[in-house]
Amino acid sequence: MSDKKKFAVILSGCGVSDGAEIHEAVMTLYAIAKHGATYDIFAPNIKQHHVINHLDGSVMNETRNVLIESARIARGNIKPLNEFNPSLFDALIFPGGFGVAKNLSTWAFDGPNCTVNPQVEGAIRAMHKLHKPIGGLCISPVLFAKVLGNVTVTIGRDASTAQAIENLGAKHLQAGHAQVVVDEKNMLFTTPCYMLDANIVDISNGAKAIVSEILKWI
């Protein structure tokens, strides 16, 4: 059995506006492998909330599936989220993108009153109960605030999102690029990435920082 640390990465589709943010997803996978750890990729087998034309921002008259589209980023090497077994992993991590707020939850539409996909909620609760690290890039930390409540996270500096998080009983700390907010009690690790003005180097730096920090705690 390998003694490499193993991450579960949960994707929410393929594309910033209706799925997983691609740069954040790829840079998360890269950071994990670069640090000598391994990963399995998961996504819920559900319909996307909608399909956005990423050229002009319009809603397309199509339906797509979160697992099937996430498989594009995973090159087919992906499992449905209902097969996630928390005992097999050392850490769980969520790249960002609107898919987190539209497919994994309804945050984009309902804010603090959102619902969270039951499999996503189950994965977060299970890892939290085992006191294993859970990482969130970009908008993903709203999932942790919604599911766990009294936690400390960052989504960068956006005041209205920060307020919405605090309305859930969580604490929001401001952070810049490649800064990782660590909630030691809850083993939560969060960093802003594209929630701030960012270029692709910022995203790589953020992904490396959060993965590196998580590995210190495993």
Binding residues for a second copy, rule: CB under 8 A, are: 14-17, 19, 21-23, 26-27, 29-30, 33-34, 53-55, 57, 62, 67-69, 71-76, 78, 199-201, 204
Residue 69 or 90 with smaller CB distance to a second copy: 69
Exposed/middle/buried for residue 173 (C-beta within 10 Å: 0-12, 13-18, 19+): middle
CB of 111 vs a second copy, minimal distance in Å: 24
Active site amino acids = 138
One-character DSSP codes across 124-190? HHHHHHTT--EEEETTTHHHHHHHH-S-EE---S-HHHHHHHHHTT-EE----TT--EEETTTTEEE
Q: Dihedral of CA 152/154/158/161: which sign?
A: negative
Q: Which C-beta is closer to a second copy: that of 55 or that of 88?
A: 55
Least Cβ distance, residue 21 to a second copy (angstroms): 8
User: Hey, how many other C-beta atoms are within 10 angstroms of the C-beta on 71?
Assistant: 18
Considering the complex, what minimum distance in angstroms separates the CB of residue 215 from a second copy? 16
Compute the least distance from the CB of residue 17 to a second copy, in Å.
8
> Which residue, 17 or 174, has its beta carbon nearer to a second copy?
17
Q: Which residue, 168 or 193, is less far from a second copy as judged by CB?
A: 193
Please, what is the Cα angle at 20 between 166 and 164, to 5 degrees?
10
Q: How far apart are the first and last CA of the chain?
A: 17
User: Which residues contact residue 50 at a Cβ distance below 8 angstroms, ignoring those fewer than 6 apart?
Assistant: 18, 59, 60, 102
